[in-house]
């Protein structure tokens, strides 16, 4: 599936103990259970950035809720969530370096 601007998308910045604990890899595993595309990456300031889009808003919200309900939830101190335009041409869910 190729993302486009008509798809709901969210950008989430996670802070807390979110680097060096398998956060990106676990997020990618969770994504495999949902119809989402996007990416996750570590930021130099210690946060993790997630960009995700889905064919419908319910699927996207379910994916974000699954992250919070996983073992990652206890490591997350804060989340900054904003709606964004879905990036064009994105396929699958990837870990960015």
Which positions are catalytic? 24, 42
- Quick one: tokens of 57? 């808003």
Cα-based distances in Å from 16 to 5, 75, 76, 96:
31, 6, 5, 19
Nearest CA to 15 out of 49, 40, 38 is that of 49
* Residue 71 DSSP class: T
Give CA–CA dist 3/68, Å, rounded.
24
């Amino acid at each position: 599936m190729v993302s486009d601007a008509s798809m709901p998308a969210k950008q989430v910045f996670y802070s807390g103990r979110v680097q060096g604990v398998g956060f990106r890899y676990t997020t990618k595993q969770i994504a495999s259970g949902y119809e989402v595309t996007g990416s996750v990456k570590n930021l130099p300031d210690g946060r993790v950035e997630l960009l995700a889009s889905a064919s419908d808003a319910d699927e996207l919200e379910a994916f974000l809720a699954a992250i919070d309900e996983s073992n990652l939830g206890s490591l997350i101190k804060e989340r900054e969530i904003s709606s964004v335009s879905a990036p064009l041409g994105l396929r699958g869910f990837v870990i960015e370096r």
